[in-house]
Amino acid sequence: MAENTNCTPRFRTSIGGQALIEGILMRGPGRQAIVVRSPDGLVIREEDIKLTREKYPILGLPILRGVVTFMDSMVRGIKALMFSADYFPEDDLAQPSKFDLWIEKHFSGEKAQKLVTALAVVLSLGLTIGLFFLLPTFLAGFVDPYIKSAAVHNLVESAIKLLIFFAYMLLISRQKDIQRVFQYHGAEHKTIFCYEAGLPLTVENCRIQKRFHPRCGTSFLLVVVVISILISSVVFSFVEWRNLWVRFALHLLLLIPIVGVAYEFNRYVGGHDTPVTRFLSRPGLWLQNFTTNEPDDSMLEVAIKAIELVIPAEKGKDAW
């Protein structure tokens, strides 16, 4: 059946989600739900959530709230991913690694989980920063002896950054194990669209929705890369652009404003429906061709269950 491309949401919800291993994480304004289709049936985990910025109001200011939200989402997302992975061990007969044995020996269950989560967050951040920010700067340094202009250097570095980003998206979309995760990603988007349209949350209603959502994390990543190119192109015009370590340091320092501005951009575009915002959202929507696939009905059932658990009792409390 063709996708419903004419469905105009009655409102925009702040509920968002994340695809997991055979499951979905959904987050509402006050609750979070993980639903995983394990070999033994649906596994559900619910919990109340309170954002850090609610405890410290200053962190709710524009720009800062984007950084806080990004870190909070990353930590919760990694925890949810680890939770879903526990139901699908790669090899039940495999011996635990030396690292696993060391963790079990020196830390209790709860402390071990916190340590593993912290390491996963650090590694994820390190990979993202290294791959999309530092590596392009390093590679662009090889052409410095042949150029005399900061503008040309910035152009070369920007081209490399975009090339790495799109190549990464293309490569992960071809991974067989990831393709089912991306089907759940599509199920998450379709279910949110169905809810925003005010339709009953049924498989039939969700199936006909679009799978490309303007408030997707994929779109956010693209915005981060583009804004980093714009900001660094300006900043590097006023510094010693041939010094590799200066460029590395500036990239790290600029991460906070870049992420903050990207969040505000996505927040505005996702909350308004005008010719301008539709134009600005098109690149991110196109990129979701790589990170979302058409889900089957069983995946839509998981997404429906997850969103039902986080819809607030007070109507409109989750409005974007």
For 296-309, write each residue's pLDDT tens digit: 999 999 999 999 99
In-domain check, residue 244: yes
Most confident of 10-24, 27-41, 296-310: 296-310
Q: Tell me if residue 174 falls in helix, strand or coil.
A: coil
Mean local confidence (pLDDT), 184-188: 97
Is 98 inside a domain boundary? no
User: Mean of the pLDDT values across residues 2-24?
Assistant: 74
Is residue 316 in a domain?
Answer: no
pLDDT (0 to 100) of residue 58: 84
Q: Is the pLDDT of residue 146 over 80?
A: yes
Q: Is residue 304 part of a domain?
A: yes
CA-wise closest residue to 289 among 197, 185, 199: 185
- Sign of the C-alpha dihedral computed for residues 46, 270, 227 and 51 taken in this order: negative
- Indicate the number of domains in the chain: 1
Interior angle at CA 79, CA 175 and CA 100, nearest 5: 85
Residue 135 domain-assigned (yes or no): yes
| Both tokens assigned to 316 | 């409109």
Q: Which domain does 142 fall in, by range?
A: 16-88+111-308
Taking the mean position of all CA atoms in its chain, how far away is CA 101? 31
Tell me: pLDDT of 293 over 90. yes
**Amino acid occupying residue 147:** I
Q: What is the pLDDT of residue 60?
A: 82
Residue 102 covered by a domain = no
Helix residue spans in the chain (DSSP H) = 52-55, 64-85, 98-106, 109-129, 135-140, 150-173, 176-196, 203-207, 217-235, 244-271, 275-291, 297-308
Q: What is the pLDDT of residue 86?
A: 86
Q: What is the pLDDT of residues 233-265, one digit of tens each?
A: 888 888 877 888 988 999 999 999 999 999 999
> Binning pLDDT at 50, 70 and 90, where does residue 19 land?
very high
Is residue 315, in this structure, part of any structural domain at all? Answer: no
Structure pTM? 0.86
Residue 47 confidence (pLDDT): 93
Report if residue 106 sits inside a domain.
no
